């Protein structure tokens, strides 16, 4: 039994997102879990998930989960707020493997805000989900939450056009600032790639909240609790698959200094 657990612990962590956004989370995971092998699926072919129906998001999430499990992943990180908020409950009911998800970090913003007003920038699919509604409702007595759909941002990020997001960001963020928010929650794993441009358009006292580090810490905790942490510092592999543009995937990996083998795969 002990040996079996030791072998399972060497299996990879599976991570998926609608595309390149989850690489921001993958980077945090690699940083705090250096012994772990990783398989990352960038479903860029189907991005953006945020504009799809709940049924479509569930179907795409099931497909990515099934593929990661066929590649022997020991846990699955859903590095996508849209997929988490629409599909994680169903995935947990149907698959006997630990799932770690990502949701907009309203709690962190609630702890930091002085104005009592926070902004949440997320996809339509996340903001419309029951999970987001129930999480955000827990804070609505103490907080004013200004929700804005980031329509169009993911498409530009997927093309690598970061600077081109500035007009849209101004359109989405200025109204939040006018209403007095002092914390802006990035409720989509693609948006951390926009932090350098968001910082150009927000005043100094306004904070940007992103959940990547918290997800990585939670992943470590789940591995520990399930005795799945890889304690041996031997050979590990980090593999990235995209079903779209390999060159852009490689650009993003270089941008955040994430090392590994990147390839095209039809999935
Ligand atoms: N990166 C995803 C998220 O965190 C999805 C973006 C999209 O595909 O619309 O919500």
We report the CATH number of the domain holding residue 33 as 3.40.50.1860
Nearest ligand 1 atom to the CA of 46 is 8
Q: State which of 24, 43, 83, 214 you would mutate to test the pocket of ligand 1, scoring each by most atoms of that ligand within 8 A of its C-beta.
A: 83
Q: What SS3 string covers the chain?
A: CHHHHHHHHCCCEEEEECCCCCHHHHHHHHHHCCCCCEEEEECHHHCCHHHCCHHHHHHHHHHHHHHHHHCCCCEEEECCHHHHHHHHHHHHHHCCCCEECCCCCHHHHHHHCCCCEEEEEECHHHHCCHHHHHHHHCCCCCCEEEEEECCCHHHHHHCCCCHHHHHHHHHHHHHHHHCCCCEEEEECCCHHHHHHHHHHHCCCCCEEECCHHHHHHHHHHHHHHCCCCCCCCCCCCEEEEECCCHHHHHHHHHHCCCCCEEEECCC
Q: Please tell me the distance between residue 223's alpha carbon and the centre of ligand 1 in angstroms.
A: 25
CA–centroid distance, residue 211 to ligand 1 (Å)? 13
Q: Are 184 and 121 within 8 A, CB to CB?
A: yes
Residue with tokens 């996340």: 126
pLDDT of res. 2: 54
**One domain, residues 167 and 94:** no
Q: Provide the whole-model pTM.
A: 0.96
Q: Residue 191 has what pLDDT? A: 98
Please identify every residue annotated as catalytic.
80, 188
The whole-number pLDDT of residue 217 equals 98
Binding-site residues, ligand 1, Cβ < 6 A: 17-18, 21, 47-50, 80-82, 123, 126, 154, 188-190
CA-based nearest residue to 69, from 25, 15, 26, 30: 15
Q: Which of 85, 123, 153, 157 to mutate to test the pocket of ligand 1 (most atoms within 8 A of CB)?
A: 123
Full domain range(s) for residue 141: 106-211
How far apart, in whole angstroms, are the C-alpha atoms of residue 230 and residue 7? 9
Residues 119 and 169 in one domain: yes
Same domain, 241 and 256: yes
**Number of residues written out for the chain:** 267
User: What is the Å distance from ligand 1's center to 49 Cα?
Assistant: 6
Distance, CA of 149 to CA of 32 (rounded, Å): 31
**Ligand 1 mutation target, pool 18, 101, 127, most atoms within 8 A of CB:** 18
136 shares a domain with 91? no
- Domain final residue, candidates 188, 211, 234: 211
Q: Within this chain, do residues 239 and 146 fall inside the same structural domain, yes or no?
A: no
Q: Are strands 38-42 and 13-17 parallel, antiparallel or unpaired?
A: parallel
User: Which atom of ligand 1 is closest in space to residue 21's alpha carbon?
Assistant: 1
CA of 187 to the centre of ligand 1 (A): 9
2 CA → ligand 1 middle, Å: 39
- Whether 75 and 164 map to the same domain: the answer is no
How many structural domains are present in the chain?
Answer: 2
- Positions in the chain whose pLDDT score sits under 50: none
């Amino acid at each position: 039994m002990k040996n079996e657990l030791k072998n399972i612990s060497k299996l990879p962590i599976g991570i998926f997102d609608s595309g390149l956004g989850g690489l921001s989370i993958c980077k945090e995971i690699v940083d705090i879990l250096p012994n772990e092998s990783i398989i990352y699926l960038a479903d860029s072919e189907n991005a953006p998930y945020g504009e799809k129906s709940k049924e479509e998001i569930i179907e795409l999430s099931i497909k990515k989960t099934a593929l990661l499990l066929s590649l022997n992943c020991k846990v699955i990180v859903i590095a996508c707020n849209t997929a988490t908020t629409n599909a994680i409950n169903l995935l947990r009911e149907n698959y006997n493997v630990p799932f770690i998800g990502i949701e907009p970090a309203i709690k962190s913003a609630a702890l930091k805000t002085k104005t009592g007003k926070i902004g949440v920038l997320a996809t339509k699919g996340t903001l419309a989900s029951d999970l987001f509604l129930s999480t955000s409702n827990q804070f609505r007595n103490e907080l004013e939450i200004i929700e804005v759909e980031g329509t169009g941002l993911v498409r530009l990020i997927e093309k690598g056009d970061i600077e081109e997001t500035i007009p849209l960001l101004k359109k989405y963020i200025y109204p939040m600032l006018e209403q007095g928010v002092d914390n802006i929650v990035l409720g989509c794993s693609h948006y951390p790639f926009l932090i350098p441009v968001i910082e150009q358009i927000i005043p100094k006292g306004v904070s940007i909240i992103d959940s990547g580090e918290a997800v990585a810490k939670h992943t470590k905790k789940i591995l520990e609790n399930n005795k799945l942490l890889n304690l041996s510092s031997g050979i590990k592999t980090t593999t990235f698959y995209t079903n779209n543009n390999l060159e852009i995937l490689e650009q993003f990996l270089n941008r955040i200094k994430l090392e590994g083998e990147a390839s095209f795969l039809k999935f």
